[in-house]
Amino acid sequence: MNNQEMKNKVNRETNFLLQKLWDAKVLVSIILIALVARVGFSSDTPAPAPVVNTYEVSKNTKNFVGETVTVRSQPIQKVGLTSFTVSDQRLLSGEPIVVVNASGLPFDLPTDSQTRVQVTGDVRNLDISNIERDYKLNLEDESYKNYINKPAIIAKSILLAPRPGQITKNPSKYYGTRVAITGDVDNIQSPVLFTVDESYSLGAEDLLVLLVGTPKKVINKNQTVGMVGVVRPFVAADIERDYGITWDERVRRQLEADYRNKPVFVAETVYP
């Protein structure tokens, strides 16, 4: 083999190795991108079950039986000791749905008829014996006689769901209470501190929201978000102590000036 042939062979082998290295680099990049995407999705706080309205559940029950859903609606009437009916009063038809409390926690219906509740649970046709067996409940059969074989939600979670304006107008009513709210993101002060706009009540102030826990979601202005958390008065020192936050002195003074003793919603869960 002459020098030129040797040189050509070396070039071919070099190119082959470089191509292999490039292919490997591309493959690693694809894997890394996939992992980052996977981590990105898995790091988001999961949303509750799909949010539907009570009209859909009552009119198309067969499409929901066996599924876990979330409804936000006004409670209509108490049923037995632990259950109640809900119905979306904005809609002109659709039967009330019985909510059976299987959360293991007591729940008192709101005294204000304008306050909604958020219920997450399994859709079933109301069969007392089967529900008692499956959820280890003891229901008062007589109380449910008008709802037998009608749609019901067997609730895993029941929360008050006030509007932001209801909280800012009467904050002491909700202090220390775990609630669910929805609102439009307005004034973003940091990735973990922003306000949500109240568009339903004239003259209502925006509600301050503090995100706690990890990971944090990226929040954008005008984005509509749902949140679950606790309402408390804004006292910077207490919040820093309770949630391990350290604010710059200038920031702390400004927050105190703007929000001292106003309500802050400490959000544990945030979802679109």
Chain segment 99-117, per-residue pLDDT in tens: 999 999 999 999 887 899 9
The H-assigned helical ranges of 136-262 are 164-169, 236-243, 249-259
Q: SS3 of 10, please?
A: helix
| Prediction pTM value | 0.77
Q: What is the pLDDT of residues 119-169, one digit of tens each?
A: 999 999 999 999 999 999 999 889 999 999 999 999 999 999 999 999 999
Asked, colleague to colleague, whether 54-160 and 164-271 share their fold, the answer is yes
Fold of the 164-271 domain: OB fold (Dihydrolipoamide Acetyltransferase, E2P) (2.40.50)
Between CA 256 and CA 251 the distance in angstroms is: 9
What dotted CATH number matches 54-160? 2.40.50.140
Hey, where are the domains in the chain?
A: 54-160, 164-271
DSSP H or E run through 132 = helix 128-135
